[in-house]
Amino acid sequence: MSIDDPLRDEDELLAAELAFGLLDIADRSAAEARLENDARFAAAHRRWQSYAATMATGRDEAPRPSIWQGIEARLPANDTKPVTANRSSVRWWQASTFAAVAAAVVLAVVGLQRSPLPAPMVAQVQPAAPLVAVLTGASDKGIVTVSYDPASGRLTSAPIGIDVAGHSAELWVIPAGQSPRSLGVIAAGAPGWTRAPATAAPALAVGATLAISVEPIGGSPTGAPTGPVILTGKVTTV
């Protein structure tokens, strides 16, 4: 699994202990200091972190919907108090929201026009960088944040304030100039993740449009959107 020589067992164990949070403060500080200047130790630590994280994804514990309302209220863009968090993060949030809204407006007005050539992600970035999109629509339709990790094929969705009562929310990717391809039905009330279908995954690239339509329970019966599109957004890199 490691491309380097195996670490000494003792170091391998220390990396695991650090990743799982077993060490007391003194030992932890010492081990963390090693991460900075011991590349092999750091690589072992990352590997154990990913094991730990994989164990975590097996836990079927979705946050309560109220969590998302709380987050929405506390996001910097909604702050009514002076913002004490650092400014750049605020701009980042505002910029991405603005970009998504702008994309939605452009889409609504001129339809699917040719967008700038999507960058060939795979050739440029090693490993492929995660992609994100913030999907927005009319102010009362909520927001869905979608991220996609090309390395694992995992697609996560985090909805805020989505209400499709009695229907399913289906996520689509729309490559420039082509018809929508389904990415599946997303949970409307809680974050979730799924594997991007092989038919649609290649379309997930910078510049592609994501959209959410309201469909009968279980998703569109035709393979194309049949209900109204309530949210759209453009795919960008993190």
Partner 1 sequence: MLQEAYLSVWRRAASFDAARGSAMTWLITLTRNRAVDRLRAGRKVITTTIDLADMVADERPLASTVMETSEDQARLAYCVGTLEKGDAVLIRTAFFEGSTYAELATRAATPLGTIKSRIRRALVKLRDCLA
Q: How far is the CB of 42 from partner 1 (least distance, A)?
A: 9
Of residues 17 and 163, the one with the C-beta less far from partner 1: 17
Provide the token pair at 143.
């927001």
Of residues 189 and 227, the one with the C-beta less far from partner 1: 189
Of residues 72 and 112, the one with the C-beta less far from partner 1: 72
Of residues 186 and 211, the one with the C-beta less far from partner 1: 186
Of residues 118 and 192, the one with the C-beta less far from partner 1: 192
Q: How far is the CB of 150 from partner 1 (least distance, A)?
A: 10
* Residues 207 and 132: beta-carbon distance below 8 Å: no
Q: How far is the CB of 190 from partner 1 (least distance, A)?
A: 9
Of residues 152 and 179, the one with the C-beta less far from partner 1: 152
Q: How far is the CB of 111 from partner 1 (least distance, A)?
A: 31
Q: How far is the CB of 130 from partner 1 (least distance, A)?
A: 4
Q: Could you tell me which residues come within 8 angstroms of residue 208 by beta carbon, excluding any fewer than 6 positions away?
A: 118, 173, 174, 175, 176, 234, 235
Q: Could you tell me which residues come within 8 angstroms of residue 13 by beta carbon, excluding any fewer than 6 positions away?
A: none
Q: How far is the CB of 217 from partner 1 (least distance, A)?
A: 14
> What's the CA gap between 172 and 170, in Å, rounded?
7
Q: How far is the CB of 192 from partner 1 (least distance, A)?
A: 4
* Residues 215 and 167: beta-carbon distance below 8 Å: yes
Please name which of 144, 134, 193 lies closest in space to residue 164, comparing C-alpha atoms. 144
Question: Which spans of this chain sit near partner 1 (rule: CB under 8 A)?
Answer: 1, 9, 12-13, 16-17, 20-24, 46, 49-60, 62-63, 67, 70-71, 74-75, 85-86, 88-89, 92-93, 125-130, 132, 147, 149, 151-152, 154, 156, 158, 187, 192-195, 238
Please name which of 113, 225, 97 lies closest in space to residue 173, comparing C-alpha atoms. 225
> What's the CA gap between 106 and 95, in Å, rounded?
16
H or E segment to which residue 9 belongs: helix 9-20
Question: What DSSP character marks residue 238?
Answer: -
Of residues 195 and 199, the one with the C-beta less far from partner 1: 195
List helix spans (H) across 21-127. Answer: 25-37, 39-57, 65-74, 87-110, 121-124
